[in-house]
Amino acid sequence: MAKRKIAVVGAGLIGLSTAVYIVESIPTCSVTVISDKFTPNTTSDVAAGMLIPHTYRGIPIHQQKQWFRETFDYLFEINNSSEASDAGIHLVSGWQIFKTIPDEVLPFWSDVVLGFRSMTEEELKKFPQHRFGQAFTTLKCDCPSYLLWMEKRLKGNGSQVYARRIEDLWELHSKYDIVVNCSGIGSRELMGDLEIYPVRGQVLKVNAPWVNHFIRDGDGLTYIYPGIHNVTLGGTRQKDNWTLSPDPRSSKDIFDRCCALEPSLERAQDIKVRVGLRPSRLAVRLQKEILVRDGKKLPVVHNYGHGSGGFSVHRGTAKAAVQLVGECIAALEGSSSKAKL
């Protein structure tokens, strides 16, 4: 059986985690990651990295729950190993709070995170503007550490990693048997996919080591997420806004909103502003496509469009993408054995 050559386009969270899963589950192929940007310069580096799912309106809930569970279980295992600090994975406990009682008192992911329960009246006294809350423990990634850890694992396994911008996936036809497209918001231009759009997110990364519980307003706009090296304060969700430069007014607004929830943040130091464009889509595109030119074929597997929830589901979607890669390999084996007959 020929050793199949697979190119993964994109070195953000989705490209690297898909490449890692291919290497782990299909050892008979060689993997090359090709990307114009790497950590610390990807959208994935800007993220808070919290495992709190966002709902994709175009995907059945049972599917999203499975992706979340697979991701949670995978990272929990890393968290319980000696790799945890290198990979930047840790547990974090805290509260999601609501000004009015939400429709969904028990979200679909409540039995995946640890110790999910309603907040007590005593706990709610910390948030006098809020009437209801949920307490739980989840996982968080320190995003640059996690990306670097995956990149090192790939290189350690003999995979190649190249910096290059791809204008057209067909450029890869002569060297690779299969292409896996994990180019995030880049797919709008690369694939001409107008279903993917940016949702601009501005966050502050601050030094406030005394803050160690997360706080998330149920409206999803204001959050305080303590991490290994800093605390992420959020945020903004600006649909169809491509501006990557920070907006000082948004920074002040974010800071004020977060201080209203956690007044001790007034003393936060070393405030850095980061902006990222969430690669948003009604549904993650997990699909096979065969590109055909001049009678020649190039199988492509798409895995992009994770919007606000990439960290929460990445291992599950990597597994689904690798299943599709396996189907492409089986089809190639089938056509090469027919050719020999």
Ligand X SMILES: O=C(O)CCC(=O)C(=O)O
Ligand Y SMILES: Cc1cc2nc3c(=O)[nH]c(=O)nc-3n(C[C@H](O)[C@H](O)[C@H](O)COP(=O)(O)OP(=O)(O)OC[C@H]3O[C@@H](n4cnc5c(N)ncnc54)[C@H](O)[C@@H]3O)c2cc1C
CB of 128 to ligand X, least distance (A): 22
Q: Which residues in the 162-201 window bind ligand Y by CB under 6 A?
A: 165-166, 182-186, 190, 201
- Binding to ligand X by residue 16, rule CB under 6 A? no
The residue (of 30 and 312) whose beta carbon lies closer to ligand Y is 312
Stretch in the footprint of ligand X (CB under 6 A) among 46-54, 70-78, 186-194, 289-297: 46-54
d(CA 307, CA 80) in angstroms, rounded, equals 28
Q: Which residues pair with 179 in a beta bridge?
A: 7, 300
- Binding to ligand Y by residue 281, rule CB under 6 A? no
Q: Which residues in the 21-40 window bind ligand Y by CB under 6 A?
A: 35-37
d(CA 239, CA 194) in angstroms, rounded, equals 14
In sequence order, which residues have a C-beta less than 8 Å from that of residue 283 and are 6 or more positions away? 56, 57, 58, 59, 305
Stretch in the footprint of ligand X (CB under 6 A) among 13-21, 44-52, 103-111, 323-331: 44-52
The residue (of 93 and 287) whose beta carbon lies closer to ligand X is 93
The binder of ligand Y chosen from 7, 9, 254, 321 (CB under 6 A) = 9
Q: Which residues in the 302-321 window bind ligand X by CB under 6 A?
A: 308
Got the DSSP string for 192-239? Answer: --TT-EEEEEEEEEEE-TT--SEEEETTSS-EEEE-SS-EEEE---EE
CB of 237 to ligand X, least distance (A): 7
Stretch in the footprint of ligand X (CB under 6 A) among 45-53, 59-67, 72-80, 107-115: 45-53
Task: Find the residue with minimal CB distance to ligand X.
Answer: 308
Among ligand Y, ligand X, none, partner that 134 touches (CB below 5 to 8 angstroms by kind): none
Q: Is the peptide bond before 184 cis (omega within 30 degrees of 0)?
A: no
Contact 134, 119 (CB under 8 A): yes
Quick one: CA torsion of 282, 283, 288, 290, rounded to 10 degrees? 10
Closest CA to 160 of 339, 6, 330: 6
The binder of ligand X chosen from 37, 55, 92, 220 (CB under 6 A) = 220
The binder of ligand X chosen from 16, 19, 48, 233 (CB under 6 A) = 48
The binder of ligand X chosen from 6, 9, 46, 50 (CB under 6 A) = 50
The binder of ligand X chosen from 144, 201, 299, 316 (CB under 6 A) = 201
Quick one: CA torsion of 154, 203, 186, 65, rounded to 10 degrees? 70
d(CA 113, CA 116) in angstroms, rounded, equals 7
d(CA 310, CA 133) in angstroms, rounded, equals 24
- Binding to ligand X by residue 52, rule CB under 6 A? yes
Q: Is the peptide bond before 209 cis (omega within 30 degrees of 0)?
A: no
Dihedral pair phi/psi, residue 296, rounded to 5°? -100, 150
- Binding to ligand Y by residue 231, rule CB under 6 A? no
- Binding to ligand X by residue 278, rule CB under 6 A? yes
Closest CA to 130 of 79, 87, 96: 96
- Binding to ligand X by residue 279, rule CB under 6 A? no
Q: Which residues in the 38-57 window bind ligand Y by CB under 6 A?
A: 42-44, 46-50
In sequence order, which residues have a C-beta less than 8 Å from that of residue 164 and are 6 or more positions away? 34, 35, 36
Per-position x/- string for 221-260, each x denoting binding to ligand X as judged by CB under 6 A, each - no binding: --x----------xx-------------------------
Binding site for ligand Y (CB under 6 A): 9-15, 35-37, 42-44, 46-50, 165-166, 182-186, 190, 201, 203, 235, 276, 278-279, 304, 306-312
Contact positions vs ligand X (CB under 6 A)? 48, 50, 52, 201, 216, 220, 223, 234-235, 278, 308
